[in-house]
Structure 1
Amino acid sequence: MVVYEATVYTGDRIQATTLNSVHIKLVGTDGESDRTWLKSLVIFRGSVSTYTVSCPNSLGRLLLIELDKRQFGFLPDDAWFPDKVEIKSPEEDVYTFPIHCWISDQETHRYREGKALRIFDESHSLGQYARQQELSQRSLEYDWEFYGPGIPYTIKADGAMTLPDEVQFSFTKTTEFAFTAATGLAELRLKGLVDNQENWKTLDDINGVFRNKDTPLSDYVQEHWAEDWLFAYQFLNGVNPTLIRRCKTLPENFPVTDDMVFIPDGSNLLNELERGNIYLCDYKNLDGMPANIINEKQQYLTAPLVLLHKRSDDKLMPIAIQLKQTPAEDNPIFLPTDSAYDWLTAKIFVRSADFSEHQLNAHLLRTHLLAEVFAVSLLRNLPMVHPIYKLLIPHTRYTLQINELARERLIGPAGVFTLFAASGREALPKILARSLSSITYRSLCIPDDIADRDLQDLPNFYYRDDGLQLWSIIFKYVQRVIKYYYKSDDEVQRDSELQTWIGDIFKHGFLSQLQTGIPQNFTTVSELIKFATMVMFTCSCQHAAVNSGQYDYGGWMPNTPATLQRAPPTKKGTTSKSTILETLPPINVTAQGMATVWLLSRRSSDFVSLGDYPEYHYTEETPRQLQTDFKSDLDKLSIMINNRNKDLEIPYTYLDPKNVENSVAI
């Protein structure tokens, strides 16, 4: 008789304790143990408990364990969250089995030993069988669902609570999210704002909507929102830094002339174009989109073009705005030299267009929906023992549930965005489809994107500066991990699971559109490294850049109106303070919008920052050391960013690694 020592680590999270009977079976190359009861009346959260499993003979090299739990007597059935199980063999070998998921049913669950294995590393038939069974089961649990023409597929689910336990929010996250959502709207109802469809009588009246929920930056934006420099600054370091690009030649549909614009220091538009000092923001993605009807009133959504000039003092300033794509007499080009109300009205229409472009393209599509595609394809096609699964699974945390909630509460038929944004209802799926059709792989990789937009030397562009450094750090980490497991291009090509994974992403995420440039397969190690880096960057850094500042810049509604109630002016000299108030969203729309961006900007107490790995999926020494090195590099960058921010009037904090969540979780 030989004895194995089983040490069970239960997660230190609310409701992880179980009153059920837990059983274990050990499976090795030379046999398996009997199903053995772990003799505990209660396995408590955060506990580390050791048990013995006896066998007639040695089981050889351990391949997997089987765990199950059964309701005990009259005690209630419950869920249990084991982190890992360590087995010490009679030969003094220690095997680690990562779990990190809920066991809430009475089925038998198999978990592999923690050493990462590619499919062609599986030398034993039991390992091959377990791998196949895991993927067969996951393909049922994580199925694709068609969401709409031209839009990425989503997880097939009947609401957030039907998702598998392992991808749902923690109890803490669920409670805090529900509390924040409920208290925000309750406060607004008490103030009588939720159902009030009247227009604002003065801008000062808007102050009372969320008086106790302002942030230092939202206060600053409220004070300076009408100033040209802050309008321009937001294209660099606001919530949508992905649109601006250098302009060497004016678009044919934007006929700005030298005599229209004022260029300081005796220069002119032609010279500044040649010098590379002119920049363009083009909202053509929104052209022709049908605007929503809100409060039984037609809303308005424009597709502006904005011209900006980098002055000799390195400050970026707007110099011309055209609110619609097609030049015409009733589509004037607005200038800073126009009346104050004309110019402010033009900027308000741009900021409202930016709300739609940001929310639907930069935020929803390019982070949330793509992160969901990456998560579902990972769970369907790569088993837990695969090295790329271990690399990327931390960056899928909570993504499937937050997206299901978004489809229920934000972009579904009764969602806030659907009901209260100019680009809600009919326009929403059309904008998503148009955005996906124009997406490129290069635009998802920040070094390529910055180069393609020709923004390498634009001053005061902190999104670029911090983003490029983060990409470099992530790339270094990913490269070292992948090269540890893949020594040659041939090994990448031989990994059939890897090829199925990227093929699934290409088909269901990018709808097999060749013009995107998304890989359909991997032929080299370098291709795999770049793609995995893009996935990590998108799910963490890019989402932080376009999400975290939503309340900072949108908490003061006039700076980022979700909709506008009056048509854009067709003639100069027709605007006033009263027309601006008539154009801005009414009270109930303002209240709903501000409650939403407040909710989406709140950090949960179980926030996991980039580089923190509370769940260790890798068990080998080398990749774990690489994770430690990765975190060290991120900490150094955080110090650099904080030192720079001390000298900035508006600190750029969204890409400080300590503020970047590991996944799309809000």
Structure 2
Amino acid sequence: MDPITDENMNKKTKHEVGEIKKIQGTVVLMKKKFLDSNDLTASVTDRFDEILGNKVSLQLISAVNGDPEKELRGKLGKPANLEDWDTKITALTAPGVTFNVTFEWEEEIGVPGAFIIKNSHHNEFYLKTVTLEDVPGHGRVHFVCNSWVYPASCYKKDRVFFTNQTYLPTETPAPLRCYREEELLTLRGNGNGKLEEWDRVYDYDIYNDLSEPEKGPKHVRPILGGSSEYPYPRRGRTGRPPAETDPRHESRIPLFKSLSIYVPRDERFSHLKFSDLVAYGLKSAVQFIVPEVEAQFDSTPSEFDKFEDILQLYEKGIKKVPNFPLLESIRNQIPLQTLKELLRTDGEQPFRFPTPQVIKEDKSAWRTDEEFAREMLAGINPVVICRLQEFPPNSKLNPQVYNNEASSKTKECIEKNLEGLTIDEALNNKKLFTLDYHDILMPYLRRINSTSTKIYATRTLLFLKNDGTLKPLAIEMSLPHPEDDKLGEVSEVYTPAEHGAEGTIWQLAKAYVAINDSGYHQLISHWLYTHAVIEPFIIATNRQLSVLHPIHKLLHPHFRDTMNVNALARQTLINGGGLLERTVFPSKYAMELSAVAYKGWVFPEQALPADLIKRGVAVEDLKSPHGVRLLIEDYPYAVDGLEIWSAIKTWVEDYCSSYYKTDDIIQEDLELQSWWNDLREKGHGDKKDEPWWPKMQTRKELVETCTTIIWVASALHAAVNFGQYPYGGYLPNRPAMSRRFIPERDTPDYAELESNPEKAFLKTVTPQMLSILGISLIEILSRHTADEVFLGQRDTPEWTTDKEALKAFERFGEKLTEIEDRITRMNNDEKLRNRTGPAKMPYTLLFPTSEVGLTGKGIPNSVSI
């Protein structure tokens, strides 16, 4: 479509001034549905509305001629109704229904730049697009809507949609400016009252909705956000009333109403995604309920006695299926063929979990030291490992309380395994690395270990061998002094062993590291650093950047489904007593621990190159195409991540350069400046005074900021999310909790450790029931649904009319395809041992595209699960 200009408007047409002409339009929408079937009540009601004359009407708004009597707002055309609503029959599974609409056009309207829609039905519908053909003097005009439209009585302001053109605020056609500003005011709301499903309000709130104080002190958790003790990113406001017993907390809705928790309606899952999640959620729920009722394995149903018991979950499944009422309700909701596929009620291995990739090719490779270390570079949490820059490792905690006694006695244990180097030489040659959970966990250990959980704070030392792989040297495990914190800590150091009790203890030591890593991953690397920190960006973007704004169009695809996912998480996953507390070691201290971690969150350090440099695994190198040089050359997450990062940054630079030719334009962009202030002052308000925030005065700052947002929402989230089941679906590889400490010598537990090491290992880590619950949960979280949109793709091809932007986006997609080819070649290169490792599991978590399902690859545009 050509830009709206005076030149276009002055084109002569064959129509005389004042002559009325008909403009034909097509409207694509989805009627109200539930899962895969039409809501019949809504359909009947809508037909009666049509018969009674209560129709759906559209009214064009001029982009070129203002009405002097209405503050020069764009002149309005005559309302036109959708045609044949009551007679058009559509398939139940149709993605959209196309209706015709005929407008009367007068020359004083000129080219429309927006339209008002009024829904006089009793039910909402999803408006996808509106297209006008042959607008006199202009041609085709297209509107991308993608929004739920509720009955007009639900709105205080008319619903307005704009064309798919892009305008900076100062370049917006004058007749549209009022509409642009008023739409943003609507989206901000007034900060008061309970928000209803049809409300379109994006506002901030603290995490005060995780507790249920009316149930007693055990159900109360700290309020996160708004304090220096527990700072936190803001969430979306729901406006629910305060809890009766403690008004500091927001009241919660019943669990069975979780799906109705408020998020702006356009942030909710699509019907297709909702259907997928319900189906797989029911599958996982049943897999957990069945063993809860019937012991499926042996005489000790609360335990796995041997690794073979766990393999039964994937190889044979749970064969004995009781006749639960829940199964009957499932059958009523999901088509028979889908039910057979999900629940295997056809007699073929019912309730069987998919085999996790980590044991698909080799069932014991996970136990090797090389695989243990490789997963720090190419596993589900490859974002924590750091280079050791001093020995012994130095704690940043209070030295009067936490000492380094164990670290100092580690030297004699490890120097013999450094391929002939001394410790000082290994440090100077940048050969020593660490996975260090000492400081984040030590202040919490006494409280955590007062529950049924029993963990250590671990610090793992590793050596970079000449073949590019990492070798574990020692694992230091620390506990608070049993008498008093002031007396320091008690630590033991364990070194690799293969046989006897020492070999079993070494396997347990690695398990305690995996438990630390699993909890940190789930709470901080995954939830906090992707889900939680992105939500304020979503809210700020919708509050301050018009849909016409170029940065809104750039970022909007990377926010899809995130607010809905996070709202459901607050309701069932991260709430007090929720699934996360049940399945990871910090238990009721989980979210409190993540708030402590947020104190160290620095936005500019979320950029991949900055993160790698901060962790000491890379150094700045201006000669490198990515600006950094990796110290571990075969670091799959970093190698693939830098390629993805650079592709995103090039795309963002190309896009932003077409709108911001100079830094002055950025400084004068009032919407952009309001967006950045809103984000810092409110969205991440507990960090508003930090000096590291970009000032948003230059194009470089804008590009780096947008690149970081897109990276976190897409690639970083993919890297720490979609490997959860491939790596963690096999419990022994990534246990999430431990129930006892390492047995002491001359005890019955130590004797069992010597005589039956598998049983001793499994008695230490996550018990059977919680294992199945945890596996069920991460199976859902690791799946791609059928409506996933991946990086380099858009669900709306005509998302802008700007040809330069479309060409840059096409180049971005081509670059991602090249990266896919490169990843495939590297995974086939036997010299790159960390790409597949002993488990023969290629690293594909940053492979841009994927099929539907449990694939262990694919980068969705957004934090969508």
| TM-score in same-fold range (> 0.5) | yes
2:171 aligns with: 121
Shift of 1:315: 1.6
1:186 aligns with: 286
Matched, 1:152 2:152: no
1:279 aligns with: 433
Alignment of 1:131-170 (within 5 A): 131-140=180-189, 141-147=201-207, 148=224, 149-157=230-238, 160-161=259-260, 162-170=262-270
Residues in 1 aligned to 2:276 and 2:813: alpha-carbon distance in whole angstroms: 27
Matched, 1:365 2:519: no
Shift of 1:588: 1.2
Which sits farther off after the overlay, 167-176 or 153-162? Answer: 153-162
**2:76 aligned to 13, 22, 32, which one?**
32
Q: Deviations over 1:116-159 (max 9, x none)?
A: 112222351x4221122111111121111111131111011365
Sort the Cα spacing of 1:248 and 1:290 in 2 relative to 1 into closer, same or farther, 3 A. Answer: closer
Residues in 1 aligned to 2:433 and 2:744: alpha-carbon distance in whole angstroms: 25
Which sits farther off after the overlay, 297-306 or 232-241? Answer: 297-306
Residues in 2 aligned to 1:572 and 1:237: alpha-carbon distance in whole angstroms: 39
Query: Is the CA contact 2:129–2:145 (under 8 Å) kept in the aligned structure 1?
Result: yes
Residues in 2 aligned to 1:9 and 1:353: alpha-carbon distance in whole angstroms: 54
**1:626 aligned to 795, 808, 822, which one?**
808
Sort the Cα spacing of 1:8 and 1:588 in 2 relative to 1 into closer, same or farther, 3 A. Answer: same
1:390 aligns with: 553
Sort the Cα spacing of 1:221 and 1:412 in 2 relative to 1 into closer, same or farther, 3 A. Answer: farther
Residues in 1 aligned to 2:431 and 2:645: alpha-carbon distance in whole angstroms: 27
**1:100 aligned to 124, 129, 146, which one?**
146
Q: Deviations over 1:430-450 (max 9, x none)?
A: 211111111122431001111
Matched, 1:255 2:408: yes
Shift of 1:205: 1.5
Residues in 1 aligned to 2:722 and 2:417: alpha-carbon distance in whole angstroms: 35
Where 1:97 maps in the other structure, the secondary structure is: strand
Query: Is the CA contact 2:58–2:116 (under 8 Å) kept in the aligned structure 1?
Result: yes
Sort the Cα spacing of 1:340 and 1:449 in 2 relative to 1 into closer, same or farther, 3 A. Answer: same
Sort the Cα spacing of 1:436 and 1:170 in 2 relative to 1 into closer, same or farther, 3 A. Answer: same
Matched, 1:567 2:741: yes
**1:22 aligned to 31, 51, 56, which one?**
56
Q: Deviations over 1:568-625 (max 9, x none)?
A: 5688995542542321121111111111111111110111111111224322222122
Shift of 1:537: 0.7
The letter of the residue matching 1:40 is: D
Query: Is the CA contact 1:221–1:552 (under 8 Å) kept in the aligned structure 2?
Result: no
Q: Deviations over 1:42-68 (max 9, x none)?
A: 576535554321144431342311112
Matched, 1:333 2:493: yes
Q: Deviations over 1:336-370 (max 9, x none)?
A: 14810221111111000001110111000111112
Query: Is the CA contact 1:194–1:587 (under 8 Å) kept in the aligned structure 2?
Result: no
Alignment of 1:54-453 (within 5 A): 54-71=104-121, 77-86=123-132, 88-106=134-152, 107=155, 108-124=158-174, 126-140=175-189, 141-147=201-207, 148=224, 149-157=230-238, 160-161=259-260, 162-192=262-292, 198-211=302-315, 212=352, 213-220=354-361, 222-250=363-391, 251-252=393-394, 253=404, 254-261=407-414, 262-263=416-417, 265-283=419-437, 284-289=439-444, 298-324=452-478, 330-337=490-497, 339-425=502-588, 427-453=589-615
Matched, 1:664 2:817: no
2:650 aligns with: 476
The letter of the residue matching 2:491 is: N
Query: Is the CA contact 1:8–1:82 (under 8 Å) kept in the aligned structure 2?
Result: no
Shift of 1:510: 3.2
Residues in 1 aligned to 2:179 and 2:489: alpha-carbon distance in whole angstroms: 70
Residues in 2 aligned to 1:365 and 1:607: alpha-carbon distance in whole angstroms: 22
Where 1:407 maps in the other structure, the secondary structure is: helix
1:611 aligns with: 792
Matched, 1:457 2:602: no
Sort the Cα spacing of 1:137 and 1:372 in 2 relative to 1 into closer, same or farther, 3 A. Answer: same
Which sits farther off after the overlay, 567-576 or 632-641? Answer: 567-576
Matched, 1:650 2:731: no
Residues in 2 aligned to 1:193 and 1:356: alpha-carbon distance in whole angstroms: 28
Sort the Cα spacing of 1:193 and 1:324 in 2 relative to 1 into closer, same or farther, 3 A. Answer: farther
Q: Which has the higher contact order (CA 8 A, sep 6+)?
A: 1
Which sits farther off after the overlay, 591-600 or 262-271? Answer: 262-271
Query: Is the CA contact 2:80–2:103 (under 8 Å) kept in the aligned structure 1?
Result: yes
The letter of the residue matching 2:772 is: A
The letter of the residue matching 2:802 is: E
Residues in 1 aligned to 2:746 and 2:302: alpha-carbon distance in whole angstroms: 27
1:640 aligns with: 822
Query: Is the CA contact 2:418–2:463 (under 8 Å) kept in the aligned structure 1?
Result: no
Sort the Cα spacing of 1:517 and 1:479 in 2 relative to 1 into closer, same or farther, 3 A. Answer: farther
Residues in 2 aligned to 1:585 and 1:6: alpha-carbon distance in whole angstroms: 64
The letter of the residue matching 2:603 is: Y
Alignment of 1:36-47 (within 5 A): 36-41=80-85, 45-47=95-97
Query: Is the CA contact 1:502–1:520 (under 8 Å) kept in the aligned structure 2?
Result: no
- Aligned-residue sequence identity (percent) comes to 24
The letter of the residue matching 1:285 is: I
Residues in 2 aligned to 1:292 and 1:127: alpha-carbon distance in whole angstroms: 59
Where 2:367 maps in the other structure, the secondary structure is: coil
Q: Deviations over 1:264-313 (max 9, x none)?
A: 5333333212211110111122222258889x962123321110001122
Which sits farther off after the overlay, 262-271 or 483-492? Answer: 262-271
Greater Rg by CA:
2
The letter of the residue matching 2:696 is: F
Q: Which runs of 5+ in 1 are unaligned?
A: none
RMSD between superposed Cα atoms in Å: 2.7
Sort the Cα spacing of 1:386 and 1:415 in 2 relative to 1 into closer, same or farther, 3 A. Answer: same
Sort the Cα spacing of 1:510 and 1:143 in 2 relative to 1 into closer, same or farther, 3 A. Answer: closer
Sort the Cα spacing of 1:445 and 1:326 in 2 relative to 1 into closer, same or farther, 3 A. Answer: farther
Which sits farther off after the overlay, 193-202 or 361-370? Answer: 193-202
Query: Is the CA contact 1:289–1:301 (under 8 Å) kept in the aligned structure 2?
Result: no
Query: Is the CA contact 2:82–2:101 (under 8 Å) kept in the aligned structure 1?
Result: yes
Query: Is the CA contact 1:331–1:571 (under 8 Å) kept in the aligned structure 2?
Result: no
Shift of 1:515: 8.0
The letter of the residue matching 1:564 is: S
The letter of the residue matching 1:333 is: V
Sort the Cα spacing of 1:240 and 1:582 in 2 relative to 1 into closer, same or farther, 3 A. Answer: same
Q: Which runs of 5+ in 2 are unaligned?
A: 1-18, 66-74, 190-200, 208-223, 225-229, 241-257, 316-351, 395-403, 482-487, 618-629, 830-835, 850-857
Where 2:61 maps in the other structure, the secondary structure is: strand
Query: Is the CA contact 1:320–1:336 (under 8 Å) kept in the aligned structure 2?
Result: yes
- Count of residue pairs brought into register by the alignment: 659
Residues in 1 aligned to 2:703 and 2:479: alpha-carbon distance in whole angstroms: 40
Where 2:148 maps in the other structure, the secondary structure is: coil
Where 2:473 maps in the other structure, the secondary structure is: strand
Which sits farther off after the overlay, 151-160 or 319-328? Answer: 319-328
1:590 aligns with: 771
Shift of 1:80: 3.1
Shift of 1:96: 2.3
Q: Deviations over 1:366-395 (max 9, x none)?
A: 111122122111111111111100001011
Residues in 2 aligned to 1:591 and 1:193: alpha-carbon distance in whole angstroms: 13
The letter of the residue matching 1:186 is: V
